[in-house]
Amino acid sequence: MTRASLEHAAFHTLLVTEAEDRLAVQLNRPEVRNAIDAQMVDELHTVCAYLEASPKVLVLSGIPGGEDSKGIFASGADIAELIKRRREDALAGINSGLFDRIARLPMPVIAALDGYALGGGAELAYAADFRIGTPSLRMGQPEAGLGIMAAAGATWRLKELVGEPVAKEILLAGRILTGEDCLRVGLVTALVESTELLATAHALADRIGRQDPLALQTTKRVFHEPREAHPEADNLAQAELFESPAKFERMQAFLDKRKK
């Protein structure tokens, strides 16, 4: 997907803002607390296609929603659509396929989480490389109470992120984590006030942006290789980076600076 095609894309469920080194995407269905519907899934696929062709940091957040306009990430999948889905829809992996694609984007993904991040909204956040939260964050998986399961990554990503005991509390006992809980179990790396959330996310994107893009993309790819692929995957990736122009330029700049 070209730059022009993204600029002219007609987004109805997202607000998309592009900078030189990043793409900021806000979930924009405030009337239903940013519930994830089929159109949002399609539009996020459009975003992914663009970022796969033109790698940039992705900053994900949600437009404030509800009558009180409180902060919110995503309240989950749209139940009005979900109730109509049948066996074939489950096998199609509608949300799981999207979230896996987001997790595999070449450059890091930052999720800025405020208010509700429940169900599919939480699973979308798990697919990010970084999660930043607020004290008002409420994160969990209410699916079993609705007669289904969290099938878009929570049964395995959540265990990797917080460990089996906490993951089972969330998945099997319906525990909803507060922002403080999320920080304590490592589900978010920082907790800031809602007014500071996006600035904090973009400050992290700034730090990421100071790294070499090829080194970032290579590191992320190798990080997610299965254990049995290491150390060969590391050696092959490092061999590629050792020949990159950026390696010589950045190392020479470091040496020149040290001489001063």
Of residues 166, 190, 161, the one with CA closest to residue 177: 166
- From 43, 81, 143, 193, the catalytic residue: 143
- Is residue 180 flagged as an active site residue? no
Predicted confidence at residue 70, as pLDDT, reads 81
Range with the poorest average pLDDT among 27-36, 66-75, 213-222: 66-75
Residue type, 46: T
Predicted confidence at residue 9, as pLDDT, reads 75
Is the pLDDT at 67 greater than 90? The verdict is no
Predicted confidence band of residue 66 (pLDDT cuts 50, 70, 90):
low
Of residues 19, 231, 201, 194, the one with CA closest to residue 128: 201
Predicted confidence at residue 152, as pLDDT, reads 95
- From 18, 123, 164, 196, the catalytic residue: 123
Task: Give DSSP secondary structure letters for the chain.
Answer: --HHHHHT---SSEEEEE-SSEEEEEE--GGGTT-B-HHHHHHHHHHHHHHHHS--EEEEEE--BTTTTB--SB--B-HHHHTT--HHHHHHTHHHHHHHHHHT-SS-EEEE--SEEETHHHHHHHTSSEEEE-TT-EEE--GGGGTS--TTTIIIIIHHHH-HHHHHHHHHS---EEHHHHHHHTSSSEE--GGGHHHHHHHHHHHHHTS-HHHHHHHHHHHTS-GGGTTHHHHHHHHHHHT-HHHHHHHHHHHHHHH-
Query: Residue 118 and residue 126: Cα distance in Å, rounded?
Result: 11
Determine if the pTM surpasses 0.85. Answer: yes
Bond from prior residue into 108 cis (ω within 30 degrees of 0): no
Is the pLDDT at 8 greater than 80? The verdict is no
Averaged pLDDT for residues 235-245: 97
Query: Residue 198 and residue 168: Cα distance in Å, rounded?
Result: 31
Averaged pLDDT for residues 111-120: 97
Query: Residue 8 and residue 28: Cα distance in Å, rounded?
Result: 18
Tokens standing for residue 148: 């289904």
**How far out from the chain centre does Cα 28 lie?**
16
Predicted confidence at residue 145, as pLDDT, reads 95
- Is residue 143 flagged as an active site residue? yes
Whether 23 contacts 60, CB under 8 Å: no
Q: Which domains does the chain have, with CATH numbers?
A: 3-209 (3.90.226.10), 213-259 (1.10.12)
Predicted confidence at residue 5, as pLDDT, reads 55
Q: Count other C-beta atoms under 10 Å from residue 87's C-beta.
A: 7
Predicted confidence at residue 139, as pLDDT, reads 98
Query: Residue 82 and residue 1: Cα distance in Å, rounded?
Result: 30
Question: Which tens digit of pLDDT belongs to each residue from 17-41?
Answer: 999 999 999 999 999 999 999 999 9
Predicted confidence at residue 258, as pLDDT, reads 85
Q: Which residue has the higher pLDDT, 7 or 214?
A: 214
Query: Residue 50 and residue 9: Cα distance in Å, rounded?
Result: 11
Is the pLDDT at 109 greater than 90? The verdict is yes
Question: Which tens digit of pLDDT belongs to each residue from 126-185?
Answer: 999 999 999 999 999 999 999 999 999 999 999 999 999 999 999 999 999 999 999 999
Is the pLDDT at 65 greater than 80? The verdict is no
Question: Which tens digit of pLDDT belongs to each residue from 178-206?
Answer: 999 999 999 999 999 999 999 999 999 99
Predicted confidence band of residue 4 (pLDDT cuts 50, 70, 90):
very low
